[in-house]
Amino acid sequence: MALTLIVGSNKNFDTLSGSLKRCFEVITVSSYGVAMNIASELAIDLLVVDENLSGIDGLKIIKEVTNINPFINTALVSSLSPEEFHDVSEGLGIIMQLSTSPTLEEANILVEKFNEILTLTATNGSHI
């Protein structure tokens, strides 16, 4: 089962977390330090980060975790417009922008995107 790390103190993560638990093992933390320790010790498959964690920008957290694990899949909660989000996150490989109150629909789309990436990156002997 894939491992997801949710980083944030957003009370609105309950729906997202509950939905992801159907497909992932989910760890939720609200501390930057704990998140960085987990990211360096465990093979995280999906990282979901709130846009701000105790004054630390969510993009900064994603940048630091991708330095540890460059192949991690990430999603970021952001109140920016889609255009602004694209501008500030370009090149970071973030697979999805989530609203500040992630919905069940967003959780399902996130799972679909993650599964698409797994399918694309999976190797089988017929493609050698």
What is the residue-level pLDDT of the chain in tens, covering all 128 positions? 889 999 987 777 888 888 899 889 999 999 999 999 999 999 999 999 999 988 899 999 999 999 999 989 999 999 999 999 999 999 898 999 999 999 999 999 999 999 998 888 875 433 33
CATH number corresponding to 2-116: 3.40.50.2300
- Kindly report the length of the chain: 128
pLDDT of residue 123: 53
pTM of the model: 0.90
pLDDT at 11: 78
Which tokens sit at 120? 């694309």
Domain map of the chain by residue range? Answer: 2-116
Contact 45, 4 (CB under 8 A): yes
